[in-house]
Each structure stands twice: as C-alpha cells, then as structure tokens.
Structure 1
C-alpha cells in the first residue's frame, strides 16, 4: 500500500521524535517501504551543523543508523532555507512531491490555545497534500 514514507526530522530534537520514528519504522517494516528522512536547515551555522553540507552528512548518518537498527531501506534529504521556521510548511509540501512519498509520518504536539497563534505543522501539511499524513502526538512532559 505504501512504498515511500517521508519523515520530517529535526536533528536537534530527536528525543521528542521517537514515537514518530518508531511509527514510521513499524509501517515501513509492515509495507516493505523505504523511509526518507527530511531535514530542513538554515544557510547559516546552527546548533546541529555549521553548514548545510555538514547537516546533510549528519542526516545521512542518522538515516543509515535507522536503517541498520530497523532493517529498512532509508534515505535522507536535506533542504536548505534562509528561514526554516517560516518556510517549513512550504518546503515540506514540496519535499513530499520531490521524494515521491505516498505517506508522511510526522510528530505533532497536543492541541493548545497557542495553536491560534502558532499552529502545528501537521495540520497544514495534511490539509495541503493529496498524500496520507499520519500525525503522531508528542506529549509535553512539563504538563
């Protein structure tokens, strides 16, 4: 049913993405699908990497590690943006097309009153693509 699963990842926050990563891995195993990990990075130095090239190397290493740990085919795609926060939805929507993904698995936070000001990305992605989107809730440990 699914042959390529796209998983947006933030290498700086992998610990909170674990439920989504496990879900994607389980679905990939079930369907024999490839997982494509997509990371969006800035053109300027950041907390994970100094350059987009270094970020790509780290994302590729992460994809290899996931493939080895879960016995699945995996790939990595880095997208560079001058403003990753502002551009995130648009670049992820384009990445769905560019990767040929037929399923997107992504972490999302619990709905809160702040969503009116700072909406989650998952709902916008789901509303603007024809592909299936599986949103995995990430619970805030602080309350």
Structure 2
C-alpha cells in the first residue's frame, strides 16, 4: 500500500474530531427514543426479547433520550476531552454494544436492519477507544524523542 493511502487513513481515523459521528449517534439515540415512545408494543416483537427482560420500553426510551441529548451537548459545548465526555463515551459504547448483542441473541437469523445498529455500536466504541490509542502513540513517540 502506498504511503499516501496510510496517511489518508490515519488522518481520517485519528486527526478528525468525530463531530459528525457523535451527531449521527445522537440522532440514532433520539430516534430510538421516539420509536419506543410511539404508541404500541415495540417490545412485543421477538427482536427485543432481551431488552424487554432488562426494563420496559419507556425506560429504554428515557435512556436513549438522555444519551442523545448528552451526546448533542458534548458536541455543542465542544467538550470532547473532558473526563465526563470520556466516561460517557465508554457508557455510550456499552449501551450500543448491549443493544446490538441483545438483538442478535433474541432472534435468528438477525434482522437486516440491525446493520445500522452494528455500525452505530462500532462508531461509539471507536469514540471510546481512540483516545487510548492516541495516548499510547503519543507516549511511544515521546519516548523515541528522548
């Protein structure tokens, strides 16, 4: 692979601020909240069996609403590097991973629409782990300078 490819990939993964990713997560979370508040029994579907054992739809709606609003607040306040934002990133990744795994456990074969949730889970996980990778890289680069 060419050096230009690696530079472009590195820039996309590590030199971006991930604002669009966070906004996409926020929109996804807010839409989950709206769909769970919508009249009807979403959790009557087999896809949500595991989630329904954890808590009721309205509680999940509140969790997703709070998560979406928090995600937007982090973006609007430019608060990407605070301790709170980092803890939230970990919690947010755990939320999305739990949702995806619970949906995959609940039905087989998995619904095709879960692909979007898998992408959101990966995005949330990347927002959480990226600072650790960058930190390790900075430490290594600093040691090589000394």
TM score, norm. by length of structure 2: 0.26
Q: If each structure's helix is expressed as a fraction of its own residues, which one has the higher value?
A: 2
